[in-house]
Structure 1
């Protein structure tokens, strides 16, 4: 197994957590999103992933992009420990929480969006930070309300799931952009609990070989 990623990529971070939780060995292959104009734009990487995004995951002849698709592949191939409940309704609720983060919150503070704000639109650093914090607050406000109904130690009761794998990297982003987390005690408590687990600690951006 090979994982092409970037140390600070939230999506790659999710996959690292899942691989660690399932205790799977993999080769971590850095794709630096800043150096040399962005290594994701290289001819060799574009051949692997035409979207020029990370992560890309390969397992023999299989090549996958999209972090949640990669994690669900791992879930099917290596079902223990389970990252999704067996009950269809519970499984759908966990997927919905994960998608709230991965599809609604994360894309608005992704690198290529921020580069467009700074570059093409010529926003100041202050304006860019305001943009990021606005959309983080919008997403976290809704997520915190949902978690009031579903959370225990983790996003879904006391069982670690795909939702937690998505939540931790998103909180890392929020902390990076100095978001005030006071209004989100449930999100903060789940994040703190997950951070005590080795699978999450080893997947942390600062622990990666390409960390800058």
Structure 2
């Protein structure tokens, strides 16, 4: 299996966590977003969107991080990323989509570049934009996570939501947000931080973090 990604990409980070949780080996191929390598023909032949990540296995290319997580779940069902119970499974998916569809895309590198290059947003305005959308999403998640004291959103083990949450918290802290304002998210993040699968997936532990 090959993973084409960027060390600080939230979507790539999600997939790294999932692969680690499932104990799957992969070869990592860095795609430098700051150098626009995702737009080069060689990479676009894998992913016409010019986005990361892309996963390749047995000649098949998989894109979109949550679609990749679903595929991993179907191909390698144990350990599970989604709960068995249909209601809890739907709940975990909704929490995950909150981050992957509603929070993170608004702070995507291409969106931030557009804000600054086309709309003349200042650095301060860019950071305010990022914090605004993270805060709104995190506050909603706080309410949704009040349902129980389990260590993770789906129960006793981490899964799809935690794969999405930890990269988003990494971004929140990178832009100076105080996670003490979100105690339920902080509690889950603290539980994740004790697990090697999450530690190995952190951006600073990737080979391209020093390039």
Task: Tell me how large the CA RMSD over aligned residues is.
Answer: 1.1
In structure 1, how many angstroms separate the alpha carbons of the residues matched to 2:160 and 2:100?
Answer: 11
In structure 1, how many angstroms separate the alpha carbons of the residues matched to 2:148 and 2:158?
Answer: 12
Q: Is 1:95 the equivalent of 2:93?
A: yes
Residue of structure 2 equivalent to 1:210 = 208
Residue of structure 2 equivalent to 1:120 = 118
Residue 181 of structure 1 deviates from its aligned partner by: 2.1
What are the ranges of 5 or more consecutive residues in structure 1 without an aligned counterpart? none
Deviations 1:30-85 (Å, cap 9, x if unpaired)?
000002xx100101111111111000111012111011111111111111101111
Q: Is 1:199 the equivalent of 2:210?
A: no
Q: Flag the 1:151–1:139 CA change in 2: closer, same or farther, 3 A.
A: farther
- TM-score with structure 1 length normalisation? 0.96
Residue of structure 1 equivalent to 2:180 = 182
Runs of 4+ in 1 over 2 A off after TM superposition: 156-159
- TM-score with structure 2 length normalisation? 0.96
What are the ranges of 5 or more consecutive residues in structure 2 without an aligned counterpart? none
Residue 180 of structure 1 deviates from its aligned partner by: 2.3
In structure 2, how many angstroms separate the alpha carbons of the residues matched to 1:71 and 1:161?
Answer: 10
Superposed counterparts of 1:46-57, under 5 Å: 46-57=44-55
Q: Is 1:31 the equivalent of 2:31?
A: yes
Residue 89 of structure 1 deviates from its aligned partner by: 1.4
Residue of structure 1 equivalent to 2:170 = 172
Does the aligned pair in 2 maintain the 1:33–1:40 contact within 8 Å?
Answer: yes
Superposed counterparts of 1:78-157, under 5 Å: 78-150=76-148, 152-157=150-155
Deviations 1:98-147 (Å, cap 9, x if unpaired)?
11111011101111111111111111100111111111111111011111
Which of 155, 159, 163 is the equivalent residue of 1:161? 159
Residue of structure 2 equivalent to 1:8 = 8
Does the aligned pair in 1 maintain the 2:89–2:154 contact within 8 Å?
Answer: no
In structure 1, how many angstroms separate the alpha carbons of the residues matched to 2:98 and 2:157?
Answer: 18
Which of 14, 38, 41 is the equivalent residue of 2:39? 41
Residue of structure 2 equivalent to 1:59 = 57
Does the aligned pair in 2 maintain the 1:150–1:156 contact within 8 Å?
Answer: no
Deviations 1:182-204 (Å, cap 9, x if unpaired)?
32011111111101100000000
How many residues were matched structurally? 210
